[in-house]
Each structure stands twice: as C-alpha cells, then as structure tokens.
Structure 1
Amino acid sequence: MPILKLNRVLHLVAALAVLTCASAKAQAQDWPTRPVTMVVPFAAGGPMDTLARILQHGLSETLGQQVIVENMPGGGGLVGSLRVAQAAVDSHMFVLASIGTHAIGYSMHSKPPYHPANDFQPVAFVADAPLMLMTKKDLPPNDLKEFIAYTRANQGKMSFASGGSGTSSHVSCVMLNQIIGVDVTHVPYRGGGPAFQDVIAGRIDYICNYISIGAAAVKSGQVKALATLARERTSLLPDLPTADEQGLKDFDVSAWNAILLPKSATPAMVAKLNAAVNKALDNPALRERFDAIGLIAAGPDRRSPEYLRRFINAEVEKWAGPVKAGGLQLD
C-alpha cells in the first residue's frame, strides 16, 4: 500500500477512535439515556424486593427515565450482583445490595466471584434493616428463653430457613444457634419471601428475617415473634424485646442495603445516581413508607460514595471472623 494512502487510513482510524471516545464520554455525561434496571439479586416478594419497589418511583422521577426492577435470585444474591459488577458502561443497570451480597458472602468463598467494593462503583447507603427471630405459630416456645430450652432438646428434628446461603437471614440464625449451642438443619431458599412462606405454612420451624417482611404476619398471628435481633427494639413491633434484653448479652444483628453501579461506571454516573438516591431518601413520604416496614433510612452523613466504600470494606472485615469460625465456607 502506498505510504500516502496508508497515512490516510491511519488518520481515519485515529479520527474514528477519537469520535468513539467522545461519544462514549457524552453518553456517560447524559446518563441515563434509556430505562434503567435495578437488579434485585433475590426473589420477588422478599424484603429487598419490597424496598426496591419503594425506591423505584422516586428514582425514576429524579433520573428522568423509568427504573425497572429485575429480580435475579441465585447463589445467595451473588448471581445478580456479579452481573452488575461485570456490566458495560452503557448497560444502564445498578444493584440493590445487601449485607449478604456485599459483606458476608465474600468470606464464604475461597475464590469470591467479586470484591464487594473494588469490583463496583459504590453509590449510596440506603437503609438499615433490623432482623427478628420468628417461628411457626404452633411451635411451643413463646419467648427466647423457652425457645432456647426447646431447641436444645429437639435440635435433631428441627429446621430453620433462610433466603439463601450467606445471606443475613442465614448467618444471623447460625450465630444464634452457635451462641445457644445447637446444631439445626439449614434449609436455604431462593429469597426471603419463599423461605418465610414455608415458615407460615408450618413446614419450617424458624427463621431469622427482616422485621419488614414479618411484622404483618406476626400481628395477624400467622407466626410467632420471639426476639428482635438488633440492639434496640423496633418501632414497628415496640413490645417485642431484644435478644440482649432476654439474656443474650450484646447480641446485635442488623442487615443493611445500599446501591452500587458496575465497576465500569463513570464518576458522572455515580454522582447522578447518588443525587437521585439522596433526593428520594429526603422525601418524607418515602421515609414514612420505610418506617411502616421497619427500615431505618440512612442519614445524609451516610449517603456518600466514599462513606459506602469505607463501610463495605469494614463490614467485610467484621463478618470474616464469624463466617470462618462457624465453618460457613461453601468451597
């Protein structure tokens, strides 16, 4: 090929590369340019799905594009989270993460599929989600002391459910079982909703699950609530004493939720979604809906991407010890 013609080709290739980069940058600045997918890595009907539906409208309104909730259960939440971690910059998706997907689950694998902070772009902490111990309605115990005695005597024929191995509902019950000295069969489900339904149906003896998903069933007598597992009582069930109050000193397990973009996301995309989350959480109507299901909305000082990155790294370290000590590694 003549030198002159080759130079023209090279100039054309270079020009196309510049245009492509400029176009990608412009798209990132204008993000979102089409509907956005909020990946919920658990089954529909569970507590995270409920939270996603509450956030959906406010985020759609602020972003100027429809936010679509997509449930993608599997692997204790790792399947859906991994999909987001690996998504391209123009994927238009983010993940609604939990303590299970972005703290506990990391220590349960010798080769984790992703790092909870480094393989994402943290956006904003959303809420704390207190847990409680619930049993099927015909299980004899009526408080935590009676539950401990009964479970110690019947552990070989009992079972507890969770929303999946490595989730907060799993590890919190494991911690409870370790402290009271019992070995009970674990039955994992593809989400907290299906797990809780089998407790209501009487097929499973107990579950450590979000107060947000269980309060209505407790009030209607479908299940028994024996203890709040967080350090403080919840306003949703103010008469339910904590495990600490009932003798398990310093027992404190509370789940949490946050929003993260793919690792490929630009700072402009992070800033725009962070602003949308902040606006949503400042809405009094949304905060009332949080209160109604027992969620504690994050204050302004906990909503920055920098705070979330530090928080997730601290949570990974916090839960590594209990997971390993409990023999909860899956591989």
Structure 2
Amino acid sequence: MITFGRRLVSLAAALALTAASVSSGPVSAQDAPFPTRPITLVVPFPAGGPSDALARAVAHGMAEKLGGTVVVENIAGAGGTIGLGKVATAPADGYTLGFGTIGTHIANVALYKTLPYDPLTSFAPIGLAGTAPMLVVVRPGLGVSDLAGLKAHIAKNGAKTTYGSAGVGSIAHFACVILLAAMQQPATHVPYRGIAPAMNDLVGGHIDFMCDQPTTALAQVTSGKVKAVAVLSDDTVPQLPGLETVAKAGYPQVSFRSWSALFAPKGTPPRIVERLNAALRATVAEPDLQAKMQAVGVDLPRGGDLAPAAVSTLIADGIARDVPALKALGASLD
C-alpha cells in the first residue's frame, strides 16, 4: 500500500521532472542568443575601395565584440543597387547586413526610376560607420592648382574634359555631378568598375580629374602622383592643411560629406538591432581604429550620431536636399 507520504514524494519527483523538462526545452526567439553563426556584411562595391576598407575594419571589430564571425561579401554593380537589393530581401534575422552609402541611399533615388529597395523603408538602420570629405584631384600635368583653374580648363576644352568614378551612382560620380552643376560646366563621365582602376588611369594621365575620398586619394596626393585642388567640404583636411575648401572657392552649396552606415533588413527584431548597434559603438570607440581611420581622412561617429534614428534622419534630409538638385540636372540611368 502506498502511503500519503510516499504519494507526496512521488508527486514532488514528477513535478521536478516536469520543471526540468520545461527549463531544458526550446528557448524562445526573444531570448535566443545572437549570433550563433557567421554574419554576412554585404558591401555593394568592388573590393579595395574606400567603402570596402571601412567596412572590413568595422566588420573585424564587430566580430570581436559579438564573439562571432562577420564575413564581408562584395556584391558590386548598378551603383550598389544589386548588393543592397539582396540585403533588402534577406531574412530579417540579423545574419545579413548591408553597407550603405550616400550614393546607394540618396543619389540612386535620382539616378534610377526604380530601385530594388526603398532607402527609407526597406531597411532597419544599425548605425553610422563613418564620414569623410571628398577631394578633387587632377592628373599630373593638367596645369591647374585650384577650382578656378579647373573651371577655366573645362571652359576651354568643354566635353573633351574627362572625369572618372567608381561607377555610375557611386559617391565619386555623385560628388562630381554636383560640382560640375555648380560650376555650370560640362565634362564627360568615364565610369570604372571600382575606384582603384579610375585612380590608376588618373595617375596615368588617361582622364583629367575625379572626386575621391581621402581613404584612397591621400596616398596618391602625398606621393605626388596626382594633385589635389580642393576639398568639397567646409572643413580642411589635416593631412593637406593648405588645400582650398569648396566654400572659399565660391561654391558653398557643394559642401557635403560622404557617409557609410550599416543596415539590416526591415523587420529585424529590435533586440538584435540593439545588439549590433552596441557592437558597432564599441568598435568605432576603439582608439586604434580611430587613429587608423583619421590617418586616411575618415571620421568615426560618436554619441547621438551612432543612433539608428540618426541614420534615418540623414537619409531623409539628404533625399530632400540633393535628389531635386540631381533631377534638375536631368540625372537618370533608365
């Protein structure tokens, strides 16, 4: 006969087994650890360019902070729209991220009638990764030393004057279009598959000028292979203290900075966005990375600039300011 005391023991044991079964069961999605597998960061431009360099530096730091792996995948083409289009349709689980820029999220709105993503609604911003001024650099022997000289050269030679870029819709293309519009001068665009081959042709004297970020242009300028004639910003470049700013040259409306930011597909859980944002914040706060990026003219964000909402504001403001100007120039690709 089973006594009342024995029944209590049996009931307690059963309850203990039930509790153990519950506690060892599947973890809810809300509480699941992240990441548990490699994260892919899609860079929608060729390897070796300024966006790629910053993306790889950020990916390395974030991997350490997350305790996982972040793999950079270059999916170039169509001004970055192909790569970011893939990000926009990827599962919203935090394992596929995109590296967007002022070109992919603002210039492309004017350049393409249709995009495979909406810059404002297709993504969940993670945070700003970095900003940089744009340099106007000319080929050796062009014989100009400032924007006034470049304008005079274009006025004399017209569409025979050529400028290179990393491709249609790239930051380099965007910057030069705005500059030429302000100068009211024509020039022929020569798009390349990346900024490196464009710079090679500038050094070789095959094109006349280009707009480029310090990340890739500074080494060529300081070595004397190309000449910097202006910075498209109100701020001077520490490495080139005597370089004329666009405002001093008489074109304050051209002043802008390129930017890059991390994005996840829309619908990514807030806790994952927060986790990724925390890793990004910790990465860009590292003194070693700050020093490395500052040496090549890139400013890493701080404080409120790192908030996801700040990226959304940056995009909305840029679209409102720059897209009408680009469309007024008749800028279009299709």
Task: Please report the TM-score for the alignment, with normalisation by the length of structure 2.
Answer: 0.88
- Counterpart position of 2:329: 326
- Counterpart position of 2:49: 46
Q: In the alignment, does 2:127 pair up with 1:124?
A: yes
Find the partner of 2:220 among 210, 217, 222: 217
Q: In the alignment, does 2:273 pair up with 1:253?
A: no
Q: In the alignment, does 2:229 pair up with 1:226?
A: yes
Whose radius of gyration is greater, 1 or 2?
Answer: 2
**Residues 146-169 of structure 1, C-alpha deviation per residue, up to 9 Å, x if partnerless?**
111111101232211111212221
How far did residue 138 of structure 1 move? 1.9
Find the partner of 1:94 among 97, 110, 114: 97
Aligned equivalents of 2:94, 2:286: Cα separation in 1: 28
Aligned equivalents of 1:167, 1:275: Cα separation in 2: 29
Aligned equivalents of 1:102, 1:156: Cα separation in 2: 29
Find the partner of 2:184 among 181, 193, 211: 181
Q: How does 1:1-331 map to 2 (within 5 A)?
A: 26=29, 29-90=32-93, 92-331=95-334
Structure 1 letter corresponding to 2:309? E
Aligned equivalents of 2:257, 2:218: Cα separation in 1: 16
Answer whether contact 1:46 1:194 (CA < 8 A) is retained: no
Aligned equivalents of 1:90, 1:274: Cα separation in 2: 14
**Residues 39-97 of structure 1, C-alpha deviation per residue, up to 9 Å, x if partnerless?**
11111111011111221221110111111111111001111111111101347121111
Aligned equivalents of 1:194, 1:24: Cα separation in 2: 50
Aligned equivalents of 2:249, 2:94: Cα separation in 1: 49
Aligned equivalents of 2:319, 2:118: Cα separation in 1: 9
Answer whether contact 1:128 1:297 (CA < 8 A) is retained: yes
Shift of the 219–321 alpha-carbon distance from structure 1 to 2, 3 Å rule, reads same
Q: Could you tell me the percent identity over the aligned residues?
A: 35
Aligned equivalents of 1:137, 1:163: Cα separation in 2: 20
- Counterpart position of 2:9: none
Answer whether contact 1:129 1:257 (CA < 8 A) is retained: no
Aligned equivalents of 2:161, 2:219: Cα separation in 1: 24
Q: How many residues align?
A: 310
Shift of the 300–196 alpha-carbon distance from structure 1 to 2, 3 Å rule, reads same
Shift of the 153–55 alpha-carbon distance from structure 1 to 2, 3 Å rule, reads same
- Counterpart position of 1:3: none
Aligned equivalents of 1:43, 1:116: Cα separation in 2: 21
How far did residue 181 of structure 1 move? 2.1
Secondary structure of 2:41's partner? strand
Secondary structure of 1:160's partner? strand
Structure 1 letter corresponding to 2:207? I
How far did residue 192 of structure 1 move? 2.1
Structure 1 letter corresponding to 2:165? S
**Residues 223-263 of structure 1, C-alpha deviation per residue, up to 9 Å, x if partnerless?**
11000011111113222111221233443021111110112
Task: Please report the TM-score for the alignment, with normalisation by the length of structure 1.
Answer: 0.89
Shift of the 23–257 alpha-carbon distance from structure 1 to 2, 3 Å rule, reads farther
Structure 2 letter corresponding to 1:320? V
Aligned equivalents of 2:296, 2:251: Cα separation in 1: 25
Aligned equivalents of 1:170, 1:91: Cα separation in 2: 31
Shift of the 270–175 alpha-carbon distance from structure 1 to 2, 3 Å rule, reads same
How far did residue 318 of structure 1 move? 1.7
Aligned equivalents of 1:246, 1:91: Cα separation in 2: 45
Aligned equivalents of 1:175, 1:222: Cα separation in 2: 25
How far did residue 24 of structure 1 move? 9.6
Shift of the 53–155 alpha-carbon distance from structure 1 to 2, 3 Å rule, reads same
Answer whether contact 1:54 1:289 (CA < 8 A) is retained: no
Structure 2 letter corresponding to 1:202? G
